[in-house]
Structure formats: C-alpha cells, structure tokens
C-alpha cells in the first residue's frame, strides 16, 4: 500500500512539468490570436472598458503598405500615470510608450499611424531616438513617425513638424507623400488629420516641394523649413520661399496668422546624371479655419514648371538657375 502511494506521488510529480508546459502553450496560443506582428503586455490603470477594442483595432496599428508595425496593444492593471483629460483611446498607446503624443492620418494613403516625441532629441548632433527605433524603442531602419523635439506636444505650434522615413525600396511609412507630386492626387485628398492627446485637428494641404539639406548644394544656403516658432514676419518670408519651391500651386491661401503642419521625409528627386543630391520631400498644410469647408477649388490648381531646385541640380542638368539672386531667408524667431 505504501509502495503504491509512493508510485502515485512519483507519477504525479512526473506529470507536473507536462501540465505546466501544456498550460504555457495554451497561454501562448491564446495570446497570439489576432496579432499581426506581436503582442505586448503593459501595466496601467486603464479601466476594463478601455481595454476593449478602442474605436477599432485599427486605431492601435500603424500601416506600412497595409501591414501593422505596432501589433495589438494589450493593457492590464498596473501603475501608469495618465495626463489629465487626455483622450481615452490614446491610453493604451500611452501605457505602452509614454512618448506617444498624437496620431497622423491622411485619407487615401497608407499613412495612419501613432506619433511620438522624445524630449532628449538633439538637432545639433543629429541624435533622434525614433529615427532608427520603432514604437517600442527597438532598433529598426524604418524608425517611427516623430514630432520635432522643439514643437509643443499638447497643442499645435506655429509650425508643427513631423518626420518619417521614405526609402527607394518603398517600405516606409511616409512613402505615400510622393503621391502628392501629382496634382490630381491632391485634388482627391487635400485633407490631413492630425490629433494630439487632447484634440483633433484637420489641415488643408497647400503645397509640396523638395529642398536640399546641404548648403554646399545650393550656394551656401539651406531653407530652414523646420523652424517651429515663427513670428508673423517670419511666416511672410517662409511662404515666399515655399511659393518658389512648390511643384504646383494648389490655390489654397495661407495667411501669416495660420498654423501649419509640415511632413518631412527623404527625397530622391534630385538624383540626376550620376549626381546624388541629399534632399527632403516636404508636404505642407495649414490648419482648417473655423467654419471652413474641407473642399478645394480644382480650377485654382496650376503648374509651376520652373519651381526652385538646388544649384547642384541646375549644374547637373546644364541649366542656369533663375533663383540665383533670390533672398536667402532665415527665421528670426
């Protein structure tokens, strides 16, 4: 009898690891359901009703050619401290990464993604955390869309600047900005939606242009389109520079008192005749005014065939630069 008891206990002990292993496999299986890339579990004070699908699962995913690069965010009880009055649907993202500051969406494109900001970015050294780190802080050449560290994260600055990658292999979140080089695309999709943690804003596109980042490529000049806190006087000079560079005129008026949104990404427009000129493709929009329609007037869209390029481009194609004596505008703050 005692021997049987010992054998039973031994058998039970031998089965225990198998039971634990089976339980682990079951948990992994359940956790994996519905996750495109991966799940993360973070601890926060989000109540149960917020953990349920927030507006939709798509809210918690950012698209790159239709693929999720965030995955499903799962939130459970814990100790995250939220900002007072922030929107409920941001809380799961904020609990996963408290650098979360907004969301950018452009209807008609694949751009529909979370925006982050790192306060410790350094423009002088070129150190930007999310330039080559994903939403979770892990290294990737694709990075994550991020807000310029000088911009106000809670309410739009005079110039709210967002950065995102575009590569020649077509795998980046801001790739679809290139579509705005075609005025017909602009006519269909003139509105950008950018939300902070507190408010939703709509912006009307007023231009797209490319500009060099190296002074040596343009007679010692770099257009400082990423200055966030321009005065009204600065805005006048800024808008003159934009008007020279846009690939076509949209007919959307912009006043020095308007707030603008800048989406900046890499450009390969000026790689000509073996010359590779480092440049940025820039989509600019202004905040929709109170009571203003989202519609644009297609008849006001006109070509700008001689838009301004860098001096190095004119040299590469053997053309004279009609803007050689233009004012080299710089913001005064």
**53-105, pLDDT tens digit by residue?**
233 233 333 333 333 334 445 444 457 888 989 999 999 999 999 999 999 99
CA angle 262, 266, 269 (to 5 degrees): 110
pLDDT at 4: 46
The count of other CB atoms within 10 Å of the CB of residue 317 is 12
Is residue 76 within 8 Å of 132, Cβ to Cβ? no
Give the per-residue pLDDT at 18.
43
Terminal CA-to-CA distance of the chain, rounded, Å? Answer: 91
Q: What is the pLDDT averaged over residues 296-305?
A: 97
pLDDT on residue 238: 97
3-class secondary structure, 326:
coil
- CA–CA separation, 286 and 300 (whole Å): 17
Task: Give the mean model confidence (pLDDT) for residues 142-168.
Answer: 90
Domain locations along the chain: 99-317
Which of 17-21, 97-101, 281-285, 320-324 has the least mean pLDDT? 17-21
Q: What percent of the chain has pLDDT over 90?
A: 60
pLDDT at 129: 93
**Burial letters 273-303, b for 16+ CB under 10 A, else e:** eeeebebbbbbbbbbbeeeeeeebeeeebee
- Mean pLDDT, residues 301-308 taken together: 96
180-212 pLDDT, tens digit each: 999 999 999 999 999 999 999 999 999 999 999
Q: Kindly report the average pLDDT of the chain as a whole number.
A: 79
Q: What is the mean pLDDT of residues 95-118?
A: 94
How far are the Cα atoms of 142, 170, 176, 268, 313 from residue 167, in angstroms, in the given order?
A: 9, 6, 11, 9, 20
| pLDDT for residue 127 | 87
Per-residue b/e over 201-219, b at no fewer than 16 CB within 10 Å?
bebbbbbbbbbbbeeebbe
pLDDT score, position 333: 67
Q: Beta strands 260-267 and 279-287: pairing type?
A: antiparallel
Taking only Cα atoms into account, the Rg of the chain, rounded to an integer number of angstroms, comes to 25
Res. 21: pLDDT tops 60 = no
Q: Which CATH superfamily is domain 99-317 in?
A: Sortase (2.40.260.10)
What pLDDT, on the 0 to 100 scale, is given for residue 95?
Answer: 93
Give the helix, strand, coil percentages of the chain, each rounded to 5: 25, 25, 50
What does the chain come to in residues? Answer: 333
Name the residue among 126, 315, 125 with its Cα closest to residue 219: 315
Query: Is the pTM of the predicted complex or chain greater than 0.85?
Result: no
User: Residue 312: enclosing H or E segment and its boundaries?
Assistant: helix 311-317
Contacts of 183 (CB under 8 A, 6+ apart): 248, 250, 301, 303
Residues 220-256 have pLDDT tens digits of 999 999 999 999 999 999 999 999 999 999 999 999 9
Q: What is the pLDDT of residue 78?
A: 58
Taking CA atoms, 321 is separated from 20, 209, 219, 244, in Å, by: 74, 17, 11, 12
Q: How confident is the model at residue 171 (pLDDT cuts 50, 70, 90)?
A: low
List all residues 6 or more positions away from 119 whose beta carbon is below 8 Å from its beta carbon: 149
pLDDT at 179: 94
Query: How high is the pLDDT of residue 321?
Result: 97
Report the C-alpha gap between 279 and 268 in whole angstroms: 7
């Amino acid at each position: 009898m005692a021997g049987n008891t010992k054998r039973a206990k031994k058998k039970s002990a031998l089965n225990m690891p198998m039971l634990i292993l089976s339980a682990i496999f079951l948990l992994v299986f359940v956790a994996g359901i519905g996750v495109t890339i991966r799940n993360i579990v973070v601890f926060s004070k989000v109540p149960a009703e917020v953990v349920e699908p927030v507006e939709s699962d798509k809210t918690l995913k950012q698209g790159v050619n239709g693929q999720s690069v965030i995955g499903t965010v799962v939130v459970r009880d814990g100790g995250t401290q939220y900002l007072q009055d922030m929107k409920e649907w941001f809380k799961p993202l904020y609990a996963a990464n408290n650098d979360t500051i907004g969301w950018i969406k452009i209807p008609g494109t694949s751009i529909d993604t979370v925006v982050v900001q790192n306060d410790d970015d350094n423009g002088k050294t070129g150190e930007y955390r999310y330039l080559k780190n994903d939403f979770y802080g892990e290294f990737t050449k694709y990075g994550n869309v991020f807000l310029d560290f000088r911009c106000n994260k809670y309410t739009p600055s005079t110039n709210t600047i967002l950065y995102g990658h575009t590569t020649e292999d077509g795998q980046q979140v801001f790739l679809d900005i290139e579509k705005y080089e075609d005025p017909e695309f602009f006519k269909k999709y003139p509105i950008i939606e950018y939300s902070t943690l507190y408010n939703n804003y709509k912006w009307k596109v007023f231009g797209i242009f490319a500009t060099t980042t190296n002074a040596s490529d343009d007679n010692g000049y770099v257009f400082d389109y990423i200055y966030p806190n321009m005065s009204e006087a600065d805005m006048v000079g800024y808008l003159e520079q934009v008007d020279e560079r846009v690939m076509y005129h949209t007919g959307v008026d912009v006043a020095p008192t308007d707030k603008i949104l800048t989406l900046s990404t890499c450009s390969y427009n000026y790689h000509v005749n073996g010359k590779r000129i480092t440049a940025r493709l820039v989509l600019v929009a202004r905040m929709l005014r109170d009571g203003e329609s989202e519609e644009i007037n297609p008849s006001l869209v006109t070509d700008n065939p001689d838009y301004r390029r860098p001096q190095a481009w004119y040299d590469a194609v053997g053309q004279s630069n009609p803007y050689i004596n233009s004012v080299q505008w710089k913001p005064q703050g």
